Amino acid sequence: MLNEIRTVYLDSDLNIEAYRFKGIMQKFPSHFHEYYVIGFIEEGQRSLVCKGEEYIINPGDLLLFNPYDTHSCEQIDGKTLDYRCINVTPEVMKKMVLEINGNECLPYFNKNVLYHSELVDNLRELHLKISQNESELKKEELFLYLLEELIQTYSDLTILPTASEHSHEVKTVCTYLEENYTKTITLNELSVLTRWSKYHLLRTFTKKMGISPNNYLETIRVNHAKKLLEQGIKPIEVTFLTGFSDQSHLTKFFKRQVGLTPKQYMRIFDNEGETR
């Protein structure tokens, strides 16, 4: 079809694939994958058969396939399908479980369809970050949070509680972020710094500070951007002086936190004092 979209992104940071199908009518016969598939329907209604069980899936439903889960699907409403998913190899899943739980056991998900799942929003955000080539730190946070919830609630594995928080390590991370905000920072760097797993670091920092490491970093960058804009430095220059990848990212995070675009904020300190 002329309006079909079939795209795949290979994220080299997370080492996972992200698929997007839009406007397709294709019927998928019985097949399986050698990897985990975590996906969701955006538009369209489908009949799914997985391991002999029949499901009717709609927008907002999350699909969860283990390696070798045999499944097939086809449209039943005469409309096209819009679908997004990520593919996670067993090797990557083992590494993530090791971060989360301290062992390399592979989870087995006991549900293939999660109806009207709130996790769809998390998966959509992660998928968009991958397609937009966002920073590794943000993507890895989203990925770990998504897997944690799926494993904890829908798999045969039990996530062990993390150890009590340590203020010294959290302060060390804060200081590191404050001193290196212009650089690209990864969870792996922070993990080495604290000698914690990335999962334990993420959970402990967020619990202690009330904000994730990535959001803490973006807040630092926005605060520095404000000071530079107050001095009359143009947004395009501020972008690279504060560690943002491009001006659109600066504008996105700045407006979300301040309520104004960088240009609008800069005008406050002009003689005109306008914010339009």
Cα separation, 250 vs 272, in Å, equals 23
List, in order, residues 6 or more apart from 218 with CB less than 8 Å away: 253, 257
Arithmetic mean of pLDDT, 160-167: 65
Domain identity same for 12 and 106: yes
The token duo for 46 is: 């489908």
For residue 209 the two structure tokens come to 């500070």
What is residue 119's three-state secondary structure? helix
Q: Of 259, 176, 166, 167, whose CA–CA distance to 217 is shortest? A: 176
Does residue 224 sit in the same domain as residue 105?
A: no
Domain-embedded: residue 43: yes
Q: Using 50, 70 and 90 to split pLDDT, how confident is the model at 90?
A: very high
Examine the domain organization and report whether 16 and 150 are in the same domain.
Answer: yes
Give residue 176's domain range: 167-210
Q: Is 18 within the bounds of a domain?
A: yes
Whether 29 and 115 map to the same domain: the answer is: yes
Of 128, 154, 180, which closes a domain? Answer: 154
Is 160 part of a structural domain of the chain?
no
202 lies in the same domain as 238 = no
Say whether both 236 and 199 belong to one domain: no
Residues 119 and 29 in one domain: yes
Q: Is the pLDDT of residue 270 over 80?
A: no
More confident position, 88 or 99 = 88
Q: At what angle do helices 247-258 and 213-230 cross, to 10 degrees?
A: 90
Asked if 47 and 23 sit in the same domain, the reply is yes
- 116: tokens are 């009207």
pLDDT of residue 2: 58
Q: What 3-state class would DSSP assign to 17?
A: strand
Q: What is the pLDDT of residues 181-192, one digit of tens each?
A: 999 999 999 999
122 and 172 belong to one structural domain: no
Report how far residue 234's alpha carbon sits from residue 228's, in angstroms, rounded to the nearest whole number: 8
Which pLDDT score is estimated for 85?
A: 96
Q: Which of 29-33, 61-65, 196-200, 252-256 has the highest mean pLDDT?
A: 61-65
User: What is the phi/psi pair of residue 203, to 5°?
Assistant: -65, -45
Q: How many domains does the chain have?
A: 3
What H or E segment, with its residue span, contains residue 8?
strand 5-11
Q: Give the contacts of 254 (CB within 8 A, at least 6 positions apart).
A: 222, 225, 260, 261, 262, 265
Q: Please check the confidence at residue 120 and state whether its pLDDT lies above 70.
A: yes
Nearest of 93, 38, 103, 100 to residue 69 by alpha carbon: 38
The percentage of the chain sitting over the pLDDT mark of 90, rounded to a whole number, equals 66
Residue scoring higher pLDDT (83 or 271):
83
Residue 233 is classified by DSSP as -
Number of H helices, E strands in the chain: 10, 10
Q: Does residue 244 form part of some domain? A: yes
pLDDT tens digits, one per residue of 37-77: 999 999 999 999 999 899 999 999 999 999 999 999 999 98
pLDDT of amino acid 108: 96
